[in-house]
């Protein structure tokens, strides 16, 4: 795998710069007219509905783990839960929902807590990895399912890995995209993860930056620019020459504006951007960023499970130009020791971070092949 990933990839410096580029967005500048999230009204959402743009997908509000989750679903049969990443929503699985349904599965893509139409608790401490795992377990209960296969991308992959680790009785297999399995969810170091992240008077590591009020203000300042920029900058379509001068995931405290590409990659459209803009105009970034604000707390909560193994069958997919592939290369190499039923990894050529969107056909084919083999 390492040989495959070493060809035609960005450097580690370039990939980690791309991660930091999500949040640059002049976030340390003066605030301007951001699109503010409206407070969630009690029972404001209808119980179920159909979007005319995707009439084959059903939408419902589900009570799970003490909150209301919005789900998009399609198909009948064995249940497959699809957990999105940051900063996305259920829509990142739009290409897989129909394919899974056609293959005979009940595909369900929730908005995670804090995202889109799902409930948005105000307290930051209610966004730990255990809360998210509790939500997907509660979703199974609400759907009347004894078991499901859980799939995830980005932070959704971290949730999927740990859900399969903690509840193999409920999650019979796991499909993860981008982040590999990491002990305790965030790494097996002897100290809290954030203490190992670099910072100085001029710059901070991007995960530290994502914990700040400045990140929340910067990302929300111009939603269309935010999503057009990051979907391009973290994709496999970005040329290496666009790397810029950021070092190893460091975000300058006086950030530059997000680069708004003149055109979008072929796999994303302005109509797709509209969906993300609408979702974050509704939710804001408080809930999504709360995940990063709980990195150390999540690591502490998972202490009892350090060294435990994922015992269910697992499939791992990653783009060879994904910055995560560079940042966590060592974890990718050793994850099989913690996941004994891991299938051969699927490495997608010239694919960046947005795995299931950039390589929709290859991803859905790999998922269905894996599901049928169980």
Q: Which of 59, 131, 153, 353 is catalytic?
A: 353
Q: Give the other-Cβ count within 10 Å of 9's Cβ.
A: 21
Distance between CA atoms of residues 87 and 154, nearest Å: 9
218 backbone dihedrals φ, ψ, rounded to 5°? -65, -45
Distance between CA atoms of residues 367 and 154, nearest Å: 16
Active site residue 353: yes
With tokens 């990491």, the residue in question is 182
Structure tokens given for 30: 């003066």
Which residues fall within 8 angstroms of residue 126, CB to CB, at 6 or more apart?
A: 113, 290
Distance between CA atoms of residues 87 and 68, nearest Å: 20
Cα distance between the two ends of the chain: 23
Distance between CA atoms of residues 79 and 370, nearest Å: 14
CA angle 10/276/294 to nearest 5° reads 70
Residue among 192, 171, 221 at smallest CA distance from 298 = 192
With tokens 């900063």, the residue in question is 87
Name the DSSP letter for residue 326: H
Q: Which of 135, 154, 237, 322 is catalytic?
A: 154
Active site residue 154: yes
| Helix, strand, coil distribution of the chain in percent, nearest 5 | 40, 15, 45
- For residue 107, the cross-strand partners are 74, 80
Structure tokens given for 260: 């708004």
Which active-site residues does the annotation give?
154, 353
């Amino acid at each position: 795998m390492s040989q495959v990933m070493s060809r035609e990839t960005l450097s580690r410096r370039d990939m980690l710069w791309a991660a930091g580029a999500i949040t640059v967005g002049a976030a340390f500048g003066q605030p301007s007219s951001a699109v503010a999230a409206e407070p969630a009204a009690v029972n404001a959402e209808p119980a179920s509905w159909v979007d005319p743009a995707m009439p084959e997908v059903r939408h419902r509000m589900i009570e799970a783990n003490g909150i209301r989750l919005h789900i998009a679903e399609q198909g009948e049969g064995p249940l497959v839960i699809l957990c999105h990443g940051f900063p996305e929503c259920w829509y990142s699985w739009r290409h897989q929902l129909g394919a899974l349904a056609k293959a005979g599965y009940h595909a369900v893509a929730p908005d995670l807590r804090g995202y889109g139409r799902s409930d948005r608790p105000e307290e930051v401490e209610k966004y730990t990895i255990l809360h998210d795992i509790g939500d997907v377990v509660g979703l199974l209960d609400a759907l009347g399912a004894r078991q499901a296969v859980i799939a995830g991308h980005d932070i959704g992959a971290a949730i999927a890995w740990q859900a399969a680790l903690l509840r193999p009785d409920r999650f019979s297999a796991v499909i993860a995209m981008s982040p590999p399995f990491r002990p305790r969810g965030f790494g097996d170091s002897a100290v809290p993860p954030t203490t190992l992240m670099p910072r100085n008077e001029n710059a901070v590591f991007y995960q530290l930056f994502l914990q700040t009020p400045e990140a929340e203000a910067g990302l929300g300042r111009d939603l269309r620019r935010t999503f057009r920029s990051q979907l391009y900058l973290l994709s496999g379509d970005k040329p290496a020459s666009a790397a810029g001068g950021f070092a190893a995931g460091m975000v300058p405290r006086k950030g530059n504006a997000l680069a708004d590409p003149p055109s979008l990659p072929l796999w994303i459209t302005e109509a797709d951007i509209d969906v993300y803009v609408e979702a974050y105009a509704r939710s804001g970034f408080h809930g999504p960023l709360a995940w990063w604000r709980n990195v150390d707390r999540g690591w502490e909560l998972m202490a009892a499970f350090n060294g435990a193994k994922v015992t269910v069958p697992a499939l791992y997919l990653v783009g060879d130009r994904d910055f995560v592939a560079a940042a966590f290369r060592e974890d990718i190499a050793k994850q099989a020791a913690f996941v004994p039923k891991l299938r051969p990894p699927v490495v997608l050529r010239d694919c960046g971070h947005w795995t299931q969107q950039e390589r929709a056909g290859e991803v859905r084919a790999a998922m269905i092949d894996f599901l049928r083999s169980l």
